[in-house]
Every structure is written in C-alpha cells, then in structure tokens.
Structure 1
C-alpha cells in the first residue's frame, strides 16, 4: 500500500515541479551531448576516412623508381606475403585548352587497388574514353559526352577522348591539396585523368602498389597502423633487394647494345686473324689489319666502360599512406578535433554536473517539511529517500539517453557532412558509438543526481521530525562592506540596499550563480577564441613572417640571371633575392624533425623584406657567422634552446652539429636560417645558390600559373611554390573546422541559458515566502520581479567578466593541446567574441527574467505564505 502512496507522491512531485525536472534533464542532456558528441567527432573523422579508403583498397605501400619498374620487379613484388599487388603506368600531359598539367593514368579495371569513386558517368570501356578528376570542372567546361584533347604528348597513343565519367581518387583524400609536381607546364599537377592502359606507350611501369587486408585495424591514422605499415615497407624492401643493381645492369646492356655489336664484330674478326696466324697464313696486310682491330677493340671497350659509368643506379622510393597529399593533414585535423574534444566537453560537463548537483540538493532541502512529516509517520530512511532517488535516476537516465543518442549520431554527421567541400572522398559519416565515453558520462550524471540525493538526504534526516517540519530559520543579516561607505550607501534606494544585502548574505547562492554564468560565458568565448586563433595562425604566418610571394627553385642548368630575365617580363614582379633552399633533418637527444626548410641567403641581410626573423616578443634576430636559427615549433620538438646544439643532416647525407643562436617565431611548418659563413663552417663546403625568393604584387591564380609555366620553360626553374597557395590551403583547413566551432558555440549558449533558468528557478523557489511577503506589503509586480532581477543583473555582469578570464585560460589550454607537429596557434580572441558572449548571456538573462516575471504574476501569495512551495 505504501508503495502506491509513494508512487503517487512521486508523480505529483514531478508534475508540480515539471519545469525543474525538465531543466535537470536538459542540463544532463547537454552535458552528455557535448561530452559524447564532441569527443566522438575525432574518431568519426578517422573511422569515416579509414572505411572509405579501405573500401577502395588504397595502397598501404607504393614503390617507384627513377628508372621505372619492370615485369621482373612486379614478379618480385608478388612474393610479399599477404599483399595484393598492382603495377600501374602513368605520365604527365598538357590539356590542349589551357595547358593545365594532367596526371594521366592507365586504367585496367576498378577491382584492383586505388579504386576510383565515380561521382557521375561510368569508367572507361573503350580506347577513346576518359574519366576526369571531379575537380577538373574548375579548369574547363567539361561535362559528360564532351570532347577532351591533350596537347601533343609523347608516349600517349591517342590525344582525343570522350568524357564518360568524373571521379574522386582515394589517393587524394583532401580536395584542397595539389596533386604533386611535374616537369612540364607550370610544374604543378592540376588534376588526374584515367584512360585505357593500352593508350600509354611505356615499356616500364611507373609504380607498384601494395595493399594488406585488415592492416589498418580500423584506423589509418593511428600510431599502431604506422608501425605496422613500416614493417610492411621492410618486407617490400626485402622482396626487391638487389633489383636496383639488376636494373642497372639491364640499363647498361641497353645503353651499350650498339657498342657491344661493334665490339663483338671486331673481336670475331680479330679471332679469325689470330687463327690464321697460328696456321702460318699471315701476311703483312693481315698484321696491319690485326693492329688496327686491336686498337678498335680497346677503344670500344673503353667506350663501353665510359657509358656504363654514366648509368646511375636506380633509386627505389617507398611511400606510405601518410605520405600522400593531404592524408597526414587530414589525420592532424582529426587529432586537433580530438584534442579539443578531450578538454572542452570535460569542462562543459563539469559545469553541467555542478549545476545539476546544486539543483538536486536544493530540491531535497526545499522538502524539509515533507521529510519531517514522513519521518514522524514512521517511514524509514529507505522509504523516505526512495522517491528522490527514483526522481534523480529518471532524470539521469533520460538526460544521458537523449544526450548520448543525439551526440553520437548528430554531431559527427553534421561536422563531416558540412566539411565535405574540403574532402574528396569522406562524404558519408561512419559512426561507431563510443561506449566507454557514454559509460563515463552516465557515471558522471549519476554522481551529479543520485549522489546529490544521497548526500542531501543523509544531511537532512539527521534532524528530528519536529525540527524538519519547521521552516529553516533565515540566515542572520550582517553589515556588508558597501554599508561602511556611508556617503554611497545613503544615496541608494531601499530596494537596492536589500538587493546588495541579499547578495552577500547568501554567499553560496551568489558563488554558484557566478560560476554558472561564468562557465557559460567562458565556453562561448572559448568557441570564438578557438576559431579566431586557428584563423590567426595562417594570417600571421603569411602577413607578418613570410613576406615573399614565391620560392623559385632552379634546376642544375638554371641561374638567377635566366630566372630574372623571365621575371622582369612579368608586370607583377617587384624584386627578388637569391638563397640556398634545402630540406634538412634535425636531431637532438633522441628527438627528430624530419623536414625543415633551410634558407641560406647569398648576403647576410638578404632576408630582410622577405622573411621576418624575429623572436616571439618581436625582437629582430641577427644571423651570425656561426650557428643556426630555428623556428619555435622545431625547437620545441627538439627540446632545444638558444645555445643548444642540434645535428643537421642534408639530403646528400652530409651532417653537422650546429649551435642554435636564436628561436624565431613561426606558426606553420619548420624553418631554419643560416649565413653562408655558418653553412660553410658547418658542412665544409660553400652554399650553392639554387633558389630565388620573389616578391610580386597581387596575382590571380591564372596569372601565377602562367608565370610558373614560363619560369619552368625559359627560366631554368624546376618548381615555383607560391605563398598564396599555402595560405589558401591553411584557410581551407581552418574552414573545415567552422562547423565544429559553431557547434561548440551553440552548445555553450544552450548550456548558459539552461543554467541561468535553473539557478533563477531555484532562487525564486527558495525565496517564495520572502517574495510573497513583499508583494502582500504592497509592492507592484514589477517591483517584486526587480527584487530578483537586480541581483541577477549584478551577478550576470560579474559572471561575464569572470567568464572572459576563464575563456582566455581555457582557450590557451585547448590550443596548446591542439597544436600539431607542423602548426601552432597564437592565442587570439577578437572583440566580437567577447561582445557576443556578453550579449548572448545578457539576452539569456533577460529571457529568464521575463519568464520569472510571468511566473511571479501567477503565484498565489497567500498559499505561498502558508509555507507551501510552488
């Protein structure tokens, strides 16, 4: 019977305080949604990409050679255990319409490796059909059925095709990245194309791809996969061991074929003369002929040896998925999101849990009279606390279920789909529920609800029934600091004096409200701060540090004079300086940085106006005759400081230990700067000028492409790298996180609103007798509302200011966690972030106050004075 009574009481309690019950569920839901959803976005990123690239059998390892790959190489590759192997042919060609560089691949069938993903049309079926990269639309008005023409190209049997399809390739996971360099056109591949393999007139393969089923274990970006892939590279190298030497012998044989034929003929004639001499049939003419043939044989043998020496040993290169264009950066974006997800939702959930804990505790405290009555009637502790535990448990389960479902399914899908414009293949989200995070979130929710009931009930039930049935004695008033400032206190109205006294009289309520408001405002500021800081990394890098427009890399036959001859003909060219540009490796105390761009100016001060080499404080760093200047991220990875020694290794294997003379500010990539004297002292040879840093006025993409083409054709350049292209890439990387940042801001705003509503609701419920008293005494409705609002306005202002400080600290911590091996983020929060955080919080306060005003208008004051709560 008593269970029925308790159930009835539970139902009435939920109905009577439905707003509070819903608010608790919403707070828990938002906390779980943020915790599970935001933490799940990073794994969803990697799971979605891994699922797609595994489905398309993206190669785990790819082998290329400077001399091409033969059938014998393919047979050797097929000996690798557990590998699916595919050999492909490809070449570079120019589109006839605009001279864009196209990577033309030979298509066999789409059931092998690196399978294409059609966006429209079908794959090539006949010799005259071609499939284009989906982004070829950016370079021409191509459509299905249109005619596509290549410029005259060797090794391509057919130049005119019919477009039958558009596709994406798993080899280019990110559509914002270039597809490599070429030795024709402007030097940069614009897009790829696939034609039937028989159209490529090549006698060797350009690459051999290896795919190992199940090697990823579900994550192509994990450290475990990288270790396993490195082991497979070792197996591939073992299978191809000795192939370089064999290939060189084959190349020598081909190169010396004509010499060998002449040599064989001469040696045969010489042998015949020797046989005649042995038989006693020699003559003076035959002796002269023998002398001549002997000289010819010696000359031919010398020529053969000379040709053989000129044939280099082919160099085999082994690349993994992480080496593909944009692949590692996609993984870093996922890691960056995961890093934010490891900090932001935890703090978010702590705020939600704290407010929930406070709400539940105060709910129990409000029911003192009911607790005392039940205790007096003989109900035990278990029966008295039963309904509160069920109430808390229902709120926790409902909130966790809704938060986990919405967070797991909605947030990752939304971010991935909204970021689809920057990815070529990751368009469909693959969601694997993070059950460990959900379990942890449920545990936190239970602590914040059921745990709060356990503590509050045990505290209240220590009192006797008669004591519980009496209202709690009001807290004694005290003089506050403001009262001691007599001139100011006298000028305050009665209502203001009461409000200020109440603020400091109930310090726990004041502190909890400030924490709730500061938490919401701080999270909003953090959302804007993350966005501003990520954008600032690229802006500061290419506006404040990198001042050159392009780096023109010269070939062996190129000179600064020939390059400048071309540059001078360009209307946008301003000036340039010569440097040694190289990529070096650095090592110190077991720490490594594999790729650092080294600049050695021809003259010590030549970097001025092209690169700002400054400390993080903005002080200029002078390059000295000894040592090297490193940029800050490289120095951090190497655990190097000014005065430390690092080991630098050049691509040719030369290495030297060099003292660090300065740490330069930098945000993306790694750079090192040395003088020519320092370079010579370190490596024992002079720095050979091989590049120009070029400054130009603003150019369009088409103008940059045409200048690159002229430099490649007439200026002795082998590559032109534009700072604007790098800036665009970073901006697009940043834009891929915009949806993620918007979600953070929206969630923070919702939490702020719900927290404000809940705290105000608690405040009003606890003070209903007080509010009823002043209304009975003749206060108007507006004055009664202002009795609460005035306090809330003050607490909101204080909370917003504290939230600004909190937002700065939290943003700095998150940015430190989100920094990758290649990029760091400055702490930047622009004023609109602070303004919007303040405006949103103030708007939420206004809405809550309006709702409170409407509620106070409907309250029966006589009933409230009878010690019954709303």
Structure 2
C-alpha cells in the first residue's frame, strides 16, 4: 500500500512535447543532410530555451530499441553471408574440378577428333557461365524478394512498422555476382588447361590412382598392428586423397561453425536477459512519476531517483540515466552488482558505478574522473567501479556524495513486494495506473515480457540463418560424398567382384566420411565458438552489451544436427553405390 499527500493528485504536469519542424520533408530521414538540418534547428531552440532539453527522434525509446535490434542484425548480416559465400565458392569450385576430371575421356575424344583446345575450353566456360548465371539470378531473387520480407515480418510482431520498401544496392549485387562467377571461371579454365596438357592418347585412359604412402600412424606399430584391415585401408585412403580431406574438413567444419554461431548468438541474448532481469534486478515493480517536489511516503518500500542528465567526459557529451538511492545500503537490496569479471561488488557510501557499455564507449576506467552536469551545476566524481549491465546505460551514485551538490527530484520508485501474489500484483498495478501523477507502472515480469518479445524477433532471424546453414551443410556433405564416390568408382566395382556385399562397399566409403566428419565437427565447434565471440564483440550498439557465452546444450544440438545431416547424405547416396556395375572392374583401360 502507498500513502501520498493530497497535493500529489492536485496538478498534472506536462513533461514531454513533440515537435515537427518545417522543411524536414525535403530531406531523406536517414541522410546526413537531414541530421545536419535537425542539429541546426536544435541549436537554435537550445539558445532560445536554455532550460529545456531537446532531443531528436533518434533518442526516442522505441526508435532506439528498434535501431539497436537492426544494428545487431546488421552485424550478423555482414559476417554470416561472408562465410556462406566462401564455403559456397569452395564447394562450387570443387564441383567443377570433379566434373572436368570425370570427363577427361570425353576431352581426349574431342582432341582426337580434331577439336582445338580453345573450342574445348570455350565449351566448359559457356557451361559455367550458364549454370552459375542461373544460380546467381535465383540467389538475387531470393535474397531481394524473400529473405528481407521474412526478417522484416519478424519485427512487425514487436513494432508498429510501415510496409517494407526494398532498395536495390546494385554495387553489392554486381560485386557478389561477379566475384562468384569469376572465381568459378578461373578454376574451370585452369582445370581444363591442366587436363589439356596431356596427350590425347593419355586422356583416353582413366587416370591412374595415386600410389599409397606410409602414413604417420603406421610408425606407431603398437597401434597399427592391432587395427583390422578395413581400418588400415580407411586411414591410408584418407591421407591418400588429400584434396578430398581438405575439402571435407573445410566444408563440414565451416557449416558446423555457422550452426553453432547461430545458436550462440541466440544464447547470448537469452543469457544477457536472464543476468539482468533475474540476477541483477531484485525489485518487483517500477513506478514512473511526474518530476516534482512532492514528498511521497512509502510503507514497506524504498525509493530511487532516476532522471535524464547530460554527462561530460573530457571533450565528449552523452545522455545517461543517473540512479541515486535514498541511502546507499538500500541499493544492494534492490540491485545486485557484478563487475566486468562477473564478481559480486557491493554498493557503498562512496560508490560511483558506471555500466560497462558506457565505460567502453568513453574509455572510462576505475579511478577516472567524470563530470556530471545537472541544471547548469557541474561536479566531478571518481569512478569506483565498472559494472555489468546489458541493456541500458546508467551511473549509480550514492546519495551521500550527491545530495549536497545537485538539487534532485523524485521521478521513479522501485518496490519490493515479496508477499504479493500475481493477482495482488496486477490489482496494485491497476490501482497505481489510475493515479494522475503516475506516468507508468511496470512489474519485473512486464520488463521481461517486453524483452522477450523484442528478442523473439531477432531469434526469428537467427532461426532463418540456422536453416540456411543446415541446407548448406547438407549440400556440402552430399556434394563431397558424390566426389568421393565418383573418384573411387573403379575401386568399389573391384570390391563387388571380390565378393564384398553392398553394406561392406558402402562402409568402405562412408567409414572415411564419418571419420573425417567427426574431426571436422570438432574443429567446427571450436571455430563456431570463435565466430560467435567475434560477432558478439562486433555488436557495438549504444546501451547494449551481450553476455558472450553459449549454453552447453547448443554444442550438443550442433553436433547432433551435423550427424543427422551426415546420415541423410548417407541414406541418399546408397542408391548411387548400388548402381555401380561389377563389370567396370573387369574392363581394360589400357
């Protein structure tokens, strides 16, 4: 229950005025000209009305939240596509190399029939231009007319947004398309030229398999002697086909890294929310009241002072929330502070805490002086701690340090309601909302719900990226498996002639695939953690700093998904092995 003076309800005070300036319609809202125009007008208004604080719509809370979400997605949209692009180029180039290697007999036949090298090269160049051109056009269509709408609609749930307007960045489209096509063209050209160096008579024969070499494992005789023959042949084949080994390690580890990074970003947002709302916030309800000098008596509750002020640090200015408790010992009851090393830190009578993001942005360290300006009064304070705070920028100063310097007024109250049920909490919230001088009332559950609604929009984008990473993983695994089968066609035909059944022949190929994939998945988990750490560290959004951790379950889900994709490829490749003709092994290729 809250008891207030009668005067608290007598007068309504306006604290916010929205202004539309003439001439803004002549500028693009996100252009430099628009920002310059607004800054000039604010400078004029500030000179005319020095007692008021003027801010642009870019400081509006909803705009700031949406802009923060967009910036996080922007960082992801730069790094993720780069990895997708590099892996896709690698797989495409390996595919063209395989196609040309498989068609060496056709190339030899064409040379024997009198076709020039230029015509043969032109044939494959035209094929690559046609295939990659169709792929690029499909990619541009999906990238422009599908993915942006999916991502945008995810935010329509949390924000009231206008219809999406697509802008075409022809420079990016041209750069990406030309790089992709040019990369494949270069590989195709040199692959064909390399084949054409051989005499036509040699091209009409299958290329001899590489000679086996003694591998490092054989030197450990106490291990090697205990291995069965099928495992010995598996290890020898893995290191005999070094190019396939490299492609599988890079392709599978890269796609695994993308999967884990996607899960990791989602985890970072969830862990940050949990740390702030469940570990740091110890209050149950937050009241925003009109800023006036009215005294409010609270029974079984404590009050805090919270107001927007201007902070000057050396030659930089910024806006930040100042939180001042009535007495310093009450602060620890309502907020639990942890330093940047995640160690608990106590708020004392001489404490001046700055949140981590603000400290990083302004290069503030413990022991530095900061200058606070309130109502034309300026005073310096020594920073005693940099504390973890994930959403928002605050400075926490004890009332003992600040009460004789600044004239502060109450505008926010935090309540602890330990014996209130959810129903009691809702009834109290409704009663407080009816008071004229109460601007807003939010429970901690409301704050968490708002955070979850906003983060769910970004999670939708992350899920989209995970889906694309999954598709890429399956394509890479399938493509590299087909390369392995095609290059070992004669070997598998020979095994069938020698009496190996289909299960044993399949195991001959997929045993190598699973061994290499297991190593690649482990490498991918390490790379994925590094990629996630890099992405989180690159998210430089005002008032947001994410906890750079990943749930252990995410590692497990990533590994399991990668294994499932391998099994899908295994099942889909079995018909290819069944179609291998045993008579292939009996044919003479000399």
Q: TM-score, normalised to structure 1's length?
A: 0.61
Shift of 1:333: 2.0
Instruction: For 1:816-855, list aligned pairs within 5 A.
Output: 816-855=537-576
8 A contact 1:582–1:599 mirrored in 2: no
**Separation in structure 2 between the aligned mates of residue 336 and residue 684 of structure 1, nearest angstrom:** 39
- Cα 1:756–1:225 change in 2 (3 A) is farther
Partner of residue 370, structure 2 = 646
* Offset from partner CA, 1:26-71 (integer Å, 9 cap, x none): xxxxxxxxxxxxxxxxxxxxxxxxxxxxxxxxxxxxxxxxxxxxxx
Count of matched residue positions in the alignment of Structure 1 and Structure 2: 578
**Partner residue in 2 for 1:629:** 353
Based on CA coordinates, which of the two structures has the bigger radius of gyration? 1
Match of 1:655 among 378, 384, 388: 378
Residue aligning to 1:164: none
Aligned counterpart in structure 2 of residue 450 of structure 1, from 177, 185, 188: 185
Structure 2 residue aligned with 1:598: 323
**Structure 1 pair 626/725, CA: closer, same or farther in 2 (3 Å)?**
same
Contact 2:257/2:526 (<8 A) preserved? yes
Deviations 1:282-313 (A, max 9, x none): xxxxxxxxxxxxxxxxxxxxxxxxxxxxxxx9
Task: Indicate the structure whose relative CO is greater, using CA pairs within 8 Å and at least 6 residues apart.
Answer: 2
CA distance 1:530–1:317, change in 2 (3 Å): same
Do the aligned partners of 2:432 and 2:441 also contact (CA within 8 Å) in 1? yes
**How far 1:781 sits from its partner (Å)?**
1.1
1:226 corresponds to which of 32, 35, 44 = 35
Q: Which residue in 2 is equivalent to 1:804?
A: 525
| Aligned-pair CA distance for 1:222 | 5.3
Distance 2:25 2:407 in 1: 50
Give 1:585's match in structure 2, choosing from 288, 306, 310.
310
1:706 to 418, 427, 430: 430
Deviations 1:162-220 (A, max 9, x none): xxxxxxxxxxxxxxxxxxxx98999999xxxxxxxxxxxxxxx9765335464442xx3
CA contact (8 A) 1:579 1:602 kept: no
CA contact (8 A) 2:474 2:565 kept: yes
- 8 Å contact from structure 1 (residues 587, 638) kept in 2: no
Distance in 2 separating the partners of 1:627 and 1:657:
13
1:583–1:598 contact (8 Å) kept in structure 2: no
- SS of residue matched to 1:663: strand
Q: 2:165 aligns with which of 419, 430, 433?
A: 430
Whether 1:210 aligns to 2:21 is yes
The Cα offsets for residues 103-152 of structure 1, whole Å up to 9 and x where unpaired, read as xxxxxxxxxxxxxxxxxxxxxxxxxxxxxxxxxxxxxxxxxxxxxxxxxx
CA distance in 1, matches of 2:197, 2:433: 86
Q: Which has the higher helix share?
A: 2
1:535 counterpart = 2:270: yes
Report deviation, 1:381.
2.8
Which residues in structure 2 correspond to 1:362-401 (within 5 Å)?
Answer: 362-401=98-137
Could you tell me how far apart the structure 2 residues matched to 1:456 and 1:821 are? Answer: 50
2:139 aligned with 1:403, yes or no?
A: yes
For each residue in 1:249-305, what CA deviation from the matched residue of structure 2 results, as whole angstroms up to 9, or x when unmatched? xxxxxxxxxxxxxxxxxxxxxxxxxxxxxxxxxxxxxxxxxxxxxxxxxxxxxxxxx
Q: C-alpha separation between the residues in 2 aligned to 1:223 and 1:725?
A: 37
Matched, 1:516 2:251: yes
In structure 2, what is the equivalent of residue 815 of structure 1? 536
CA separation of 1:732 and 1:469: change in aligned 2, threshold 3 A: same
Instruction: State the alpha-carbon separation in 2 of the partners of residues 496 and 343 from structure 1.
Output: 39
User: Residue 462 of structure 1 aligns with which residue?
Assistant: 197
Tell me the distance in 2 between the aligned counterparts of 1:552 and 1:348. Answer: 47
Question: Does the CA-based 8 Å contact 1:615-1:621 persist in structure 2?
Answer: yes
Deviation at 1:766, TM superposition (A): 1.0
Q: Confirm or deny that 1:494 pairs with 2:229.
A: yes
**By how many angstroms is 1:867 displaced?**
7.8
Residues 662 and 317 from structure 1, CA distance in 2 versus in 1: closer, same or farther, beyond 3 angstroms?
closer
Distance 1:335 1:537, change over 3 A: same
Secondary structure of 1:584 counterpart: strand
- Rounded Cα–Cα distance in structure 1 between residues aligned with 2:571 and 2:514: 13
Note the 1:662-701 alignment, pairs <5 A.
662-679=385-402, 684=405, 692-697=413-418, 699=422
SS in 1 for 2:416: strand
Shift of the alpha carbon at 1:320? 3.3
SS of 1:724's partner is helix
> What is the distance in 1 between the residues matched to 2:538 and 2:10?
42
Q: CA RMSD in A?
A: 3.3
> 1: CA distance between counterparts of 2:251 and 2:567?
16
